[in-house]
Amino acid sequence: MAPRTLKPFFVVLGLMAATSLALALTVDVNLVDQPGVKVLFPSQLGRWNGDAIVFCQNKDCGAQFYSSEITNAVVCPKCGGKLSGLSKVEADLLPPDTEGIKERYRSPDGHTVMTSIVLSGKERASIHRPETCLRGQGSDITGSQILDVPITGRQGPLKVKVLLLTHERAGPGGTKESYGTYYAYWFAGKGRETPQHWQRMIWMATDRIFHSVAHRWAYIAISGVRTKDGNEYQSEVREVIGLLYPQIVLK
Q: How many Å apart are CA 148 and CA 145, to the nearest integer? A: 10
Nearer to Zn ion, 54 or 149 (CB): 54
The stretch among 75-83, 155-163, 178-186, 197-205 that binds Zn ion (CB under 5 A) is 75-83
- Residues near 104 by Cβ (< 8 Å), separated by ≥ 6? 50, 51, 53, 66, 112, 113, 114, 115
CB of 97 to Zn ion, least distance (A): 23
Q: Give the total residue count for the chain.
A: 251
Number of chain positions touching Zn ion (CB under 5 A): 8
**76 is an interface residue for Zn ion by CB under 5 A:** yes
Instruction: Return the residue of 79, 134, 209, 213 that touches Zn ion, per CB under 5 A.
Output: 79
Alpha-carbon distance of 85 to 51, in angstroms, equals 12
39 binds Zn ion (CB under 5 A): no
- Paired with 115 in beta bridges are 103, 222
| H or E stretch at 119 | strand 112-119
Among residues 35, 50, 81, 195, the one that binds Zn ion under rule CB under 5 A: 81
What x-and-dash track marks residues 42-71 binding Zn ion by CB under 5 A?
--------------x-x--x-x--------
Q: How far is the CB of 96 from Zn ion (least distance, A)?
A: 19
Q: At what angle do helices 197-211 and 3-25 cross, to 10 degrees?
A: 30
Does residue number 83 form part of the binding site for Zn ion (CB under 5 A)? no
Interaction site with Zn ion (CB under 5 A): 56, 58, 61, 63, 76, 78-79, 81
